[in-house]
Amino acid sequence: MSDPYSVLGVPRTASEDDIRKAFRKLAKKHHPDLNPGDKAAEAKFKEISQANDLLSDVEKRRRFDAGEIDDTGQEMPPRGFYRDQAGGPGGAKYAHAGGHESFVDMGGIFSEMFGERRGFGGGPGGGFDIGGMPVTYSLRVPFLVAARGGKQRVTLPDGKTLDIDVPEGTSDGQTLRLKGQGMPGTQGRPAGDAYVEIHVEPHAFFETRDNDIHVELPVTVTEAALGGKIRVPTVGGAVMLNVPAASNTGTSLRLKGRGLLDRKSGQRGDQYVKLKVTLPEQPDEKLKEFLEKWEAGRAYDPRKAMEQFT
């Protein structure tokens, strides 16, 4: 069992803001989109995402700190739980998986509770006629799969795999119902349903606010000064954006209808592009020479308006 606080590098007294900042810093470093083909970075990203899912939820964090759930959000068995010592039919012990009761054991439990031990049906195989119990799972979904829709594979406790259809515009925390994929019923009754809670992984540069998407876009000095059309990534693919001449860092431009689908209204949000003027990574002597000549006699003070506040 890992410690989510250690994974994010924060103390147990960390505030919600501290946790959010720590996660975003680590996510930008280890995000698979920024480390293509790096399995170690992919594994680390999943680990920090899981830690953030737990600690960013006030109730889950409280329960983890109290020892009620583990680092994956699964229930911890109470100490001294009677089934640790109890025997199953024929003297067999109950099966456990990772410290928790296995889902596949539940059918036997209910058969025993309502059948053999209560005397219903008169013996093995007879029993109380009940439908299958529901089960719940958590599933991590890449940001673009949730935004665009697609299939995501989940492995059930019995080893069976399912390809789940993730609807376009699926939001973080949304629960999908899988009919008949829960515990099997007794006496031929139908199986219960499975409920999958979706956890959408953060993207390397897309940030969601309701159904709108915000992205910070680097532009060159030339693009900012002279303007022009540039390619901008969106969840639906790259589009062309017209950058006005004399744009500054912080200039925000809107791409209408390029946000996420609102499944209730059927409407799409917008994408907001905040420009960030970026100099070349390597020194450019010609650019330096040009700016030195240009500035001569054209000095201006972009911080002049701040003087009134000091």
pLDDT digits (tens, 9 = 90+) for 79-138: 444 344 444 444 443 333 333 333 334 344 334 444 443 444 444 444 444 567 787 878
Q: What is the pLDDT of residues 2-19, one digit of tens each?
A: 788 999 999 988 898 888
Joined tokens for residue 114: 């309502």
pLDDT digits (tens, 9 = 90+) for 11-45: 988 898 888 888 888 887 888 777 778 888 888 88
Which residues, listed in sequence order, are joined to residue 100 by a DSSP beta bridge? 97
User: Quick one: pLDDT at residue 149?
Assistant: 92
What three-state secondary structure class fits 268? strand
Amino acid 77: pLDDT: 59
* Half-sphere exposure (Cβ direction) of 181: Cα atoms closer than 13 Å: 19
pLDDT of 296: 74
Beta bridge partners of 197: 138, 175
- Confidence bin at 271 (pLDDT 50/70/90): very high
* Greatest mean pLDDT among 48-52, 91-95, 145-149, 172-176: 145-149
Judge whether 186 and 128 are in contact, CB under 8 Å.
yes
In whole angstroms, give the CA distance from residue 300 to residue 310.
Answer: 19
When pLDDT is cut at 50, 70 and 90, the band that residue 260 belongs to is very high
Q: What is the DSSP letter of 185?
A: P
Return the pLDDT at 177. Answer: 86
Confirm whether pTM is higher than 0.75.
no
pLDDT at 131: 61
Phi and psi for 247 in degrees, rounded to 5? -80, 150
Average model confidence (pLDDT) across the chain: 78
Is 59 exposed, middle or buried (CB count within 10 Å of its CB: 0-12, 13-18, 19+)?
A: exposed
Count of other CB atoms within 10 angstroms of residue 9 = 14
**Residue 25 DSSP one-character state:** H
Could you tell me where the DSSP H helices lie in the chain?
4-8, 16-30, 39-55, 58-65, 106-111, 143-148, 221-226, 285-295
Give residue 110's Cα distance to chain centre. 35
What would the pLDDT profile of 193-205 be if each residue is shown by its tens digit? Answer: 888 888 888 888 8
Q: CB–CB of 48/23 below 8 Å?
A: yes
Percent of the chain scored above 70 by pLDDT? Answer: 79
In this prediction, residue 130 carries a pLDDT of 56
CA atoms of 237 and 148, how far apart (whole Å):
10
